[in-house]
Amino acid sequence: MNQYLKFYILGFLSVALITALFISSCSEKVQSIPTIDGVLLSMDTVPAGSIALLTVLASDADGDELVFSYTTNGGKISGYGDSVYWLAPLQGGLYRTIIRVTDPSGNQVSDSVKLYVLPSGKSALSGTASFAEGKKLDLSSAKVRLFTSLAARSAGQSADSVNVFGFGSIVSFSFPAVAPGTYYLDVWKDMDNSITLSPGDFLGWYGSGDYANSLLKPIVIEENTPKQLQVEMNVVP
């Protein structure tokens, strides 16, 4: 075999080997990054020292087994995997847990969720305000007022007030921390911005009756016991 032929064969084999290695490397599967499709809390507002269930909805296109880790700045995480318990701290406040999801190749994605812890002894008061079906009126910017007595309501002296969430004929509201006691509640939208109740305003209250004969029902708040209400709205004649 002459020298030229030897070089030709060696060159051919080298090219074939490099090509085979290239094809092999290209055929290796590229690992995808996991995704977090959602983070769910059984309750986003809890009394101090109570427990909320935290569930992570995660997926991986490669079908790899995923590892979940949690870091919180309040309370303690108990359990493993995609569903754990968040033990709320004894101090009220807004807390956050960071969730990290990792695949076997080290690819990682993260998300976070917040938990509001009520100060010890206080409770959340929430609910909805709505017009009767068929009335397409907008309740956005309405104010929800909480009174300690009917006399305080007559005097316009509310213990607390919040703006509603949402728009349209049904909206929601929330008082995150109400001290134990007895209260009365109404919902008012000042349509003409006169700061006084006038015809055409939207008004509702927790109780029964119509505008001329309204009967407000007392709301009893107990320690660490969330309460939900429904308020029917009316147009002031």
The pLDDT value given to residue 6: 53
What's the pTM?
A: 0.58
Assign 23 to helix, strand or coil.
helix
For the chain, the farthest-separated pair of C-alpha atoms sits apart, in whole angstroms, at 116
State the distance between the two ends of the chain, measured CA to CA, in whole angstroms. 112
Q: Where are the domains of the chain?
A: 35-118, 123-235
For the segment 161-205, what is each residue's pLDDT rounded down to a tens digit?
999 999 999 999 999 889 999 999 999 999 999 999 999 999 999
Whether 35-118 and 123-235 share one fold: the answer is yes
Element (H, E) at 99: strand 93-102
The pLDDT value given to residue 95: 96
CATH 2.40.340.10 fits 123-235, yes or no: no
pLDDT band at 27 (very low <50, low <70, confident <90, very high): very low
Separation between Cα atoms, residue 230 and residue 97, nearest integer Å: 32
pLDDT band at 43 (very low <50, low <70, confident <90, very high): confident
State the chain's mean pLDDT as an integer: 87
Cβ proximity of 71 and 98 under 8 Å:
yes
CATH value of 35-118 in 2.60.40.1080, 3.30.565.60, 1.10.3720.10, 3.30.360.10: 2.60.40.1080
Assign 234 to helix, strand or coil.
strand
Least confident of 7-11, 54-58, 162-166, 207-211: 7-11
114 compared with 121, residue with greater pLDDT:
114
- The DSSP secondary-structure symbol of 106 reads -
